[in-house]
Chains A and B, each alone.
Chain A
Amino acid sequence: MRVALFVTCVNDTLFPGTGQATVRLLERLGCTVDFPSAQTCCGQMHFNTGYRDDARPMAQRFGEVFEGHDVVVVPSGSCAAMVREWYPTLGVQPPGGVYELSEFLVDVLGVVDVGAYFPHTVTYHPTCHSLRSLRVGSRPERLLSEVRGLKLLPLGGAEECCGFGGTFSVKNPAVSAAMCTDKVRHVLDTGAEVLCAADNSCLMHIGGTMHRQRAGVRTMHLAQILASTEEDPS
């Protein structure tokens, strides 16, 4: 199957490893991956902060860049939600087949066991937009539970927001930090080595807090764990 990757500006700029892992995973599962290099940003930050006139050209650009691609895979719940849920508000009709990574794997490819190997304890933060906008449900956890060697530990208060919220994190830093402190406490309570999520912006927030606290827990995007194999570990 031929798929186009919308890597997202955050992954492109700060977390290229997530994009590389997504490519590695999709190719291993038999997909041919295109990366239309004219792609940039979905416009989520501008839209969510109220700057619709700035967000609209980015939405239009997205529509033009991915026109003619039947399947677009996005390794970010919130960017996929931006495209599918909010582009119509900007007067832009989103392209048909935009999928968040776990949706694509489970619903389109129909795989749950992606042949990954990751011998570590992992806890999963479901992230708000995957959960309540895209309604991906338990797809990511189902994918993770099939990974050989991986022990998935349940996260307390999993469905509660980590407090990132894009510009919320700098507009309301006190509340944002308080929310993240509680999220980190739940993560540490699991005793897991790795905190996993399908959105690097949330992980940047939780991971940045844990790094500051020298908490000793790694953050990894879902794609990186699913891409990991015995021969080529993440």
Chain B
Amino acid sequence: MSRTFVGMPAFPVASAKAVGDAQLRHNLHKATHTIRGKRALVVGEQPDWMELRSAGAAIKDRVLRHLDVYLEQLEAAVTRAGGHVHWARDAAEANRIVTSLVKATGETEVVKVKSMATQEIELNEALARAGITAYETDLAELIVQLGDDLPSHILVPAIHRNRAEIREIFQRAMSEWGRPAPDDLADEPAALAEAARLHLRERFLSAKVGISGANFAVAETGTLVVLESEGNGRMCLTLPETLISVVGIEKLVPTWQDLEVFMQLLPRSSTGERMNPYTSMWTGGVEGQDFHLVLLDNGRTDVLADQVGRQALRCIRCSACLNVCPVYERAGGHAYGSVYPGPIGAILTPQLRGFATELEESLPYASTLCGACYDVCPVEINIPEVLLDLRAKVASSGHHRAERLTMAAARRVLSSPALLSAAQRTAGRFRRLTPRRLPGPLSAWTDTRDVPAPPRESFRQWWERRESDR
């Protein structure tokens, strides 16, 4: 079945490969700059944007401070409305719960609304192992699934594909999954969308089980909320007899009124729209529907325990930080080795998984700390602050002995005026011998850039000379 992110190489290796892919670079540049521009336009016209994002951050912080209370409130409200609530400590437990719920219906096919939580736990793969086929119904997720590909963006999982590539994927793979693409399929967006619509229509009408995530869960009323743009979500949420929603425990908002803030923040930040096209809200199942809510921890309480890192749990998965990130734009989403790419992924993945491999250790360094992500974040996540905190954790892990020794040596020189001055004099004396290629890890600098020759005289030497001449 489809591929997963397990065993991905560290960020510098994966991103170097992506940087060399000219088509990918073009696709990403075009897509991110388009959404970036749309977002800037609709955010700019909102006079109270800064207050709105502060409100969003404050509401999420309140949820995180009293998470236990709100979770139990949600459970009670959902149960009262006729739904069933399940608690999953980790991915394996969540997958077990969902698999057994689907099996209990006797069905072997499910339709899915685009969901980050189910991607995170690799639910489709778990279902496949149990003989259950999961059909993605979001257009971009469909492209990824048909292409046996991996998602590379939170909002637009197939952002790395252009329309010519999508046409080729549809023609090659649609017939393996259901209704084939028309023979004369053009690479026009309207034609591609129509092919997807016809392909998916029969799924919606025949599916007995729907699986979703949720953008928000209202503790007060037990209402779940999904925002989407294509109407596929509405179909999956309302037509099947059984609906299973896998929701991260941080998706809560306390009250119905709190949604008002996020209904303004999320569409403008993610798709660059003033208002979201399809917003589905349900409390318990829709009439006669068997509704199950699986509340997922999977590392979230560990993140909550970290004073600096916990702000990452405010994230509403809007993707604004990806679209504005100059590193993401060149590296692409796959290099981050997780369903959460870009700046938010660089702080979320190592926290959710721990520093399990070189990949997780490399992610906090996958940023120039330029701060563009923090500027656009609708819930004020100080991503550079969390990156720096995670870097401190990596540096003190003891895994990077050579770097630690180099840094200690540099610190000794850089904290002694005498040693610094001596080093400057030596460099100045041998300035003609400045190598064109630097040795060791510094060769990465001279691969693409020249080094400035050290001056004959450092500033402090000049200053001393000037003072003594006076």
Residues of A within 8 A of B444 (CB): 169-171, 173
Q: Contact at A54–B407, with CB atoms within 8 Å?
A: yes
Partner of B392, one of A50, A172, A175: A50
Residues of B within 8 A of A186 (CB): none
Q: Contact at A13–B420, with CB atoms within 8 Å?
A: yes
Given A164-B368, A173-B12, 19 extra CB contacts under 8 A: A12-B420, A12-B459, A13-B454, A13-B459, A14-B455, A15-B455, A16-B462, A19-B459, A37-B417, A48-B388, A57-B411, A58-B414, A128-B368, A128-B369, A129-B371, A159-B372, A165-B367, A165-B368, A172-B366
Closest to B408 in A: A54
Q: Contact at B442–A170, with CB atoms within 8 Å?
A: yes
C-beta contact mask, B391-410 vs A, less than 8 Å → 1, else 0? 11111100000011001101
Residues of B within 8 A of A20 (CB): 459, 462
Partner of B12, one of A57, A129, A172: A172
Q: Contact at B459–A165, with CB atoms within 8 Å?
A: no
26 contacts across the A-B interface (CB closer than 8 A)? A13-B427, A16-B462, A19-B459, A19-B462, A19-B463, A35-B463, A38-B417, A39-B417, A41-B420, A47-B388, A48-B388, A50-B364, A50-B391, A51-B404, A52-B395, A53-B396, A86-B388, A128-B372, A132-B372, A160-B326, A166-B369, A171-B365, A171-B444, A173-B444, A208-B450, A212-B449
Of A91-99, A115-123, A177-185, which binds chain B? A177-185
Partner of A40, one of B16, B331, B408, B416: B416
Asked if B441 lies at the interface with its beta carbon under 8 angstroms from chain A, I say yes
Q: Contact at B393–A50, with CB atoms within 8 Å?
A: yes
Q: Contact at A46–B445, with CB atoms within 8 Å?
A: no
Asked if A61 lies at the interface with its beta carbon under 8 angstroms from chain B, I say yes
Residues of B within 8 A of A164 (CB): 368
A46-B20 Cα distance, complex, nearest whole Å = 30
C-beta contact mask, A117-160 vs B, less than 8 Å → 1, else 0? 00000000000110111000000000000000000000000011
Asked if B70 lies at the interface with its beta carbon under 8 angstroms from chain A, I say no
Partner of A49, one of B371, B395, B416, B462: B395
Q: Which residues of A (204-228) have their CB < 8 Å from a CB of B? A: 204-205, 207-209, 211-212
A54-B412 Cα distance, complex, nearest whole Å = 9
Asked if B415 lies at the interface with its beta carbon under 8 angstroms from chain A, I say yes
Partner of A50, one of B372, B375, B396, B423: B396
Q: Contact at A40–B415, with CB atoms within 8 Å?
A: yes
Asked if B135 lies at the interface with its beta carbon under 8 angstroms from chain A, I say no
Closest to B438 in A: A170
Q: Contact at B326–A163, with CB atoms within 8 Å?
A: yes
With A163-B326, A175-B15 as known contacts, state yes or no: A49 contacts B391, CB within 8 Å.
Answer: yes
Q: Contact at A178–B404, with CB atoms within 8 Å?
A: no
Q: Which of A35, A170, A175, A180 has the most CB of B within 10 A?
A: A175
Partner of A178, one of B19, B391, B463: B19
Residues of A within 8 A of B330 (CB): 175, 178-179
Closest to B427 in A: A13
A55-B415 Cα distance, complex, nearest whole Å = 9
Residues of B within 8 A of A55 (CB): 411
Residues of A within 8 A of B366 (CB): 172
Q: Contact at A208–B452, with CB atoms within 8 Å?
A: yes
Nearest-neighbour CB distance to chain B for A167, whole angstroms, equals 8
With A7-B459, A12-B460, A175-B330 as known contacts, state yes or no: A51 contacts B395, CB within 8 Å.
Answer: yes
Q: Contact at A16–B459, with CB atoms within 8 Å?
A: yes
Asked if B447 lies at the interface with its beta carbon under 8 angstroms from chain A, I say yes
Q: Sorted from nearest, which 10 A-B pairs have the closest CB atoms?
A: A165-B368, A50-B395, A208-B449, A50-B391, A161-B370, A174-B16, A132-B371, A19-B459, A173-B444, A41-B414
Partner of A52, one of B368, B392, B403, B450: B392
C-beta contact mask, B450-470 vs A, less than 8 Å → 1, else 0? 111011011111111000000
A174-B392 Cα distance, complex, nearest whole Å = 24
A160-B403 Cα distance, complex, nearest whole Å = 29
Asked if A9 lies at the interface with its beta carbon under 8 angstroms from chain B, I say yes
